[in-house]
């Protein structure tokens, strides 16, 4: 799911029927990009990016939208996105030394984990 599609889903008129179920997952491309960045040479990586450089370029371009999507998801009680997207972004944000984004998304994820009683993810 692209960030634009996520925006169209959450900004459509009327309430989202089930705020926990959003068509597609904004976390999927972020997860795939993170897997490319963390993969060891020769290790299999998910489809979606031709190379580590492509994944990094996508994350660099989409970083403001991804961080914004995590914050908006928290505001809209879309807990799966608020919980998982920051976890997917953590390695990239730390590697790029985006400490302000790392902290703000970590707080989003921590609060979402507390809301659902997920003690394991509170510690991530």
d(CA 49, CA 31): 11
Establish if 105 belongs to a structural domain: yes
Q: How many domains does the chain have?
A: 1
pLDDT digit string, tens, across residues 41-98:
888 887 778 888 999 999 999 999 999 999 999 999 888 888 889 999 999 999 999 9
Q: Which domain holds residue 113?
A: 27-38+50-124
> Pick from 2, 58, 57, 54: which is nearest to 25 by CA?
2
Establish if 59 belongs to a structural domain: yes
Please, which residues have CB within 8 angstroms of residue 50's CB and are 6 or more apart in sequence? Answer: none
Q: Which residue has the tokens 């989003």?
A: 108
Establish if 86 belongs to a structural domain: yes
Please, which residues have CB within 8 angstroms of residue 19's CB and are 6 or more apart in sequence? Answer: 76, 77, 78
The confidence score (pLDDT) of residue 7 equals 52
Greatest mean pLDDT among 10-19, 26-35, 102-111? 102-111
Establish if 69 belongs to a structural domain: yes
Establish if 9 belongs to a structural domain: no
Asked if 71 contacts 104 with a C-beta cutoff of 8 angstroms, the reply is yes
């Amino acid at each position: 799911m692209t960030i634009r599609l996520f925006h169209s889903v959450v900004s459509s008129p009327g309430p989202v029927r089930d705020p926990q179920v959003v068509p597609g997952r904004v976390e999927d491309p972020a997860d795939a990009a993170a897997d490319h960045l963390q993969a060891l040479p020769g290790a299999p990586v998910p489809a979606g990016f031709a190379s580590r450089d492509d994944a990094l370029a996508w994350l660099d371009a989409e970083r403001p939208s991804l961080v914004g999507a995590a914050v908006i998801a928290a505001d809209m009680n879309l807990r799966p996105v608020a919980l998982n997207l920051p976890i997917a972004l953590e390695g990239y944000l730390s590697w790029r030394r985006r400490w302000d984004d790392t902290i703000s998304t970590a707080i989003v994820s921590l609060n979402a984990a507390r809301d659902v009683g997920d003690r394991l993810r509170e510690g991530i």
